[in-house]
Structure 1
Amino acid sequence: MTTRIAVIGCTHAGTAAITEMARLYPDARITVYERNDNISFLSCGIALHVSGVVQDAQGLFYSSPAKLEELGVTTLMKHDVLAIDTDAKTLTARNLVTGEELTHGYDKLIATTGSWPIIPKMDGIELDGIELCKNFHHARTIIEQAKQAKRIAVIGAGYIGIELVEAFDMLGKDVTLIDNMDRILYKYLDEEMTHAAEQAFKDRGVKLALGQTVTSFQGNAEGRVSKVVTNHGEYEADLVILCIGFRPNTELLKGQVEMLPNGAIKVDEYMRTSKPDVFAAGDSCAVHYNPTGEHAYIPLATNAVRMGTLAARNLMLPTVKYRGTQGTSGIKIYDSNIASTGLTETSALAAGMNVKKVTISDSYRPEFMPTHEPVTLKVVYDADTGRILGAQVMSKVDLTQSINTMSVCIQNGMTMEELGFVDFFFQPHYNKPWNVLNQAGLKAV
């Protein structure tokens, strides 16, 4: 009997799951339901497109409905799933073009419904010129609106917000960045790193309105936004981009599978939900966060493609375990290369953990070389066991791969003493006899 596999949503996790399943289960009947008219859009490239670094937005797609059709997948674009009955193993979807509703049965279901930007309820939120930044249509809207805009406000100082601020600044716009925390990139970096990044924005004339909460928006006579009001002041803006964060799209499975309080679906190490034959992956899910050993909501494309691939591998039999995540990420701000993994000192202390830190500021290679740019590395570790919990790096030279190395260390439960004596190569073009990661381990011990 042919196995019927239903996949709901087709961005990173969905695309990864589908392509893997088409290879592993050539006899299965795979149907994907996608409410949009495109798939596999790399939203992390939107700021690059806005700034003009990436000229053609089509390059931000890495698959298409046609490619899935070639794999033998039934691809139902512009089909919005309205309801799922996980006991009866059926789903109901609406064709958004014709309005027709259809009900299909399934044997296995993979929920890769992703996430959606958080939209606050406040006065003026419906004004024209207040935009989201998530998908291909948002990218096109932002680019078109930015052509006319002179003053742009970005609300939210996470990765997407920061990258957009830099992009708008490169276009010569008057930019204001607003966030309710007192530092940018608060979730990813400690103050040693964010202070330098903030200074780079100030040097370029970007206004930083940090530690401020947006309370409302005001508009002009034409119904277009003209001002952002916070609890500390008012900022003129004819274009506002909301980058406050994301919440999982999981209403379809509410009350049917276990979730975190924010609605993120809990999955086990094989991507199985609490309901038999229902799998989930990507931004709709909570992930196992290795630094704390607990479930956490960390919507990243890297997590999504791993989870989607694992959902496919484990669909018929539990085969390959998920190794968890460190939330490893990187960003380039002007000429600074920044990356982080695991817990910051700030987040560890806020969680009541007993941690210590080591900060290394050094030239990344010997001073006898023609150039020897400084690098700052910070490592956070458990005060009792020495187990590595997190790391951050910043340098004008691209040393971000060192954070991938630290991610491996955290995933494998390594200690600072072990880090001090890891075998790293030395070559004056690239580093010092004691690699900066070695130096951190030795300093801690």
Structure 2
Amino acid sequence: MKVIIIGATHAGTATIKSITKRHPDAVVDVYEKNDNVSFLSCGIALTVQGEVKNIEDLFYSSPEILEAAGANIHMKHEVTKVDTINKTVTILNLTTHETTIEAYDKLVATTGSWPVVPPIPGIEDERVVLSKNYSHAKELIRYANDDKIKRVVIIGGGYIGTELVEAFNVKGRDVTLIDNQPTVLNRYFDPEFTKNVANMFVNHGVSVETGKTVQAFESKDDGIVIKTDAGHFSADLVIMSVGFRPATQLFKGQLEMTENGALIINDYMQTSDPDVFAAGDSVAVHYNPTGENAYIPLATNAVRQGTLIGYNLTVPTVKYMGTQSTSGLKLYDLNMASSGLTGAHAAELGLDYDSLTMTDNFRPEFMSSTEPVLMTITWERGSQRILGVQLQSKYDISQSANTASVAIQNRMTLTDLAFVDMLFQPWFDRPFNYLNLLAQAALDKEA
């Protein structure tokens, strides 16, 4: 059996490991247009600010490791055409510029995503950069260590954008964050949480410019001017971080896609062509809170889906469980994590929902110290099924988001979470864990 895999980032690397482990007799050829695999872009901001000392540590695999596992790794080879009818791919060797055509029995599309680059006049200025891959990371680190770069404007207030705000602020730069949404982290947290982030940025000297849309860039000898619909800003460096699009142009007109180009897959990672599998940022995921497909480009989704391809390559065996889009981040000393829908997103979708926000300490006040936890729970009216949980504290609340993820995955209700068994020990929590208390407060509101 001949398997061709296009792309070797997170989903591709996981697929290679899973297929070579479970199908040792398969011939696995991997085509990657870059000169590296498995780069953890989530560590870019950490490297910029100096938390990660060596950027090379952000690689968790290599062509040599994947070759040793049993795959044939072709670096700097770009797949330029896919023919799903005749089951062939056309490959361009980016070193020799030779073109070859290879046949497959099974094809895996782990082509990933690429940052959205809006058609803004002047965006071609070399001082407007992206943050996605290894090359971008090296460029950002070079800028972070260049004393001539004093003014940094970051466009986009999502996870990557806010982490880069902190990173360049810690490096002593004059940082401005511009976002066209009303708050930072608008898609991940409700306003009670995001206003704390904005206030924290301001207290650290960051200029937070939300509700502003960038209309043009003007190049100057001494910098670049960012023109918005509500004022102009000057910078030595601009970082674009306004989202991602699936890189699926190879399959247009051949495989079923969502409106944004994400490949549609079934429970066993097969596309509309059963001999073509797909995983990672190139696909739409099953979003459990709504039961619908959604585009959620996260490394967690990618590695799970890629691993499942190995299980399901010849026979549908293990179903994909879907996702709650569980995620978290740390900005300065503030920890944030969420799973499932925010109230704002539930309202946008027209769901019949309710939500409750409260604050409680994570452990008893008689302990020498404790920390308050800001938390919100969102649920479906009537059934009381949990749709989402958000958490914020100086205390590490990340594992509680994982608990919430399991609750949403298993369609647990407020009553389930209110009284599910959790440990009590004063070092760790109260007789009722704060998630128990959150669900109990929601039950009171329902009553």
TM-score normalised to the size of structure 1?
0.98
The answer as to 2:293 corresponding to 1:295 is yes
Residue in 1 that maps onto 2:226: 228
The equivalences for 1:381-400 within 5 A come to 381-400=379-398
Residue in 2 that maps onto 1:247: 245
Give the CA deviation at 1:128.
1.7
The equivalences for 1:126-137 within 5 A come to 126-137=124-135
Aligned-residue CA RMSD (Å)? 0.8
Q: Distance in 2 between matches of 1:277 and 1:158?
A: 36
Question: What is the DSSP-based 3-state SS (H/G/I as helix, E as strand, rest coil) of the residue aligned with 1:257?
Answer: coil
Residue in 2 that maps onto 1:84: 82
Residue in 1 that maps onto 2:414: 416
Judge conservation of contact 1:127–1:225 (CA < 8 Å) in 2. Answer: no
Residue in 1 that maps onto 2:21: 23
Q: Distance in 2 between matches of 1:384 and 1:230?
A: 44
Deviations, residues 61-116 of structure 1 (Å, cap 9, x unaligned): 00000111111211110001000000100000100011000100000000000000
Give the CA deviation at 1:440.
1.4
Judge conservation of contact 1:178–1:209 (CA < 8 Å) in 2. Answer: yes
Q: Distance in 1 between matches of 2:150 and 2:20?
A: 48
Question: What is the DSSP-based 3-state SS (H/G/I as helix, E as strand, rest coil) of the residue aligned with 1:110?
Answer: strand
The answer as to 2:182 corresponding to 1:218 is no
Give the CA deviation at 1:443.
1.3
TM-score normalised to the size of structure 2?
0.98
Judge conservation of contact 1:330–1:338 (CA < 8 Å) in 2. Answer: yes
Deviations, residues 371-425 of structure 1 (Å, cap 9, x unaligned): 1111111100001210000000011010111010000000000000111110001
Deviations, residues 138-158 of structure 1 (Å, cap 9, x unaligned): 000111123231000000000
Q: Distance in 2 between matches of 1:226 and 1:366?
A: 52
AA paired with 2:21? R
Judge conservation of contact 1:158–1:243 (CA < 8 Å) in 2. Answer: yes
- Structure 2: unaligned runs, 5 residues or longer: none
Judge conservation of contact 2:127–2:238 (CA < 8 Å) in 1. Answer: yes
AA paired with 1:329? S
Residue in 2 that maps onto 1:204: 204
Judge conservation of contact 2:281–2:302 (CA < 8 Å) in 1. Answer: yes
Q: Distance in 1 between matches of 2:139 and 2:399?
A: 34
Aligned length: 441
Structure 1 counterpart of 2:272, from 266, 271, 274:
274
The equivalences for 1:154-169 within 5 A come to 154-169=154-169
Q: Distance in 2 between matches of 1:69 and 1:430?
A: 45
Runs of 4+ deviating beyond 4 Å = none
Question: What is the DSSP-based 3-state SS (H/G/I as helix, E as strand, rest coil) of the residue aligned with 1:427?
Answer: coil
Residue in 1 that maps onto 2:63: 65
Question: What is the DSSP-based 3-state SS (H/G/I as helix, E as strand, rest coil) of the residue aligned with 1:265?
Answer: coil
Residue in 2 that maps onto 1:172: 172
Judge conservation of contact 1:364–1:432 (CA < 8 Å) in 2. Answer: yes
Question: What is the DSSP-based 3-state SS (H/G/I as helix, E as strand, rest coil) of the residue aligned with 1:330?
Answer: strand
Judge conservation of contact 1:129–1:145 (CA < 8 Å) in 2. Answer: no
What is the identity percentage for the equivalent residue pairs of Structure 1 and Structure 2? 52
Deviations, residues 142-194 of structure 1 (Å, cap 9, x unaligned): 11123231000000000000000000000000000000001000110001111
Question: What is the DSSP-based 3-state SS (H/G/I as helix, E as strand, rest coil) of the residue aligned with 2:300?
Answer: helix
Q: Distance in 2 between matches of 1:72 and 1:400?
A: 36
The answer as to 2:425 corresponding to 1:427 is yes
Question: What is the DSSP-based 3-state SS (H/G/I as helix, E as strand, rest coil) of the residue aligned with 1:423?
Answer: coil
Deviations, residues 296-349 of structure 1 (Å, cap 9, x unaligned): 000000000000001121011000000000000000011011000100000001
AA paired with 1:107? D
Deviations, residues 31-74 of structure 1 (Å, cap 9, x unaligned): 00000000000000000011111011111000000111111211
Question: What is the DSSP-based 3-state SS (H/G/I as helix, E as strand, rest coil) of the residue aligned with 2:216?
Answer: strand
Q: Distance in 1 between matches of 2:104 and 2:402?
A: 39
The equivalences for 1:257-272 within 5 A come to 257-272=255-270
Judge conservation of contact 1:360–1:436 (CA < 8 Å) in 2. Answer: no
Structure 2 counterpart of 1:334, from 329, 332, 335:
332
Give the CA deviation at 1:225.
4.6
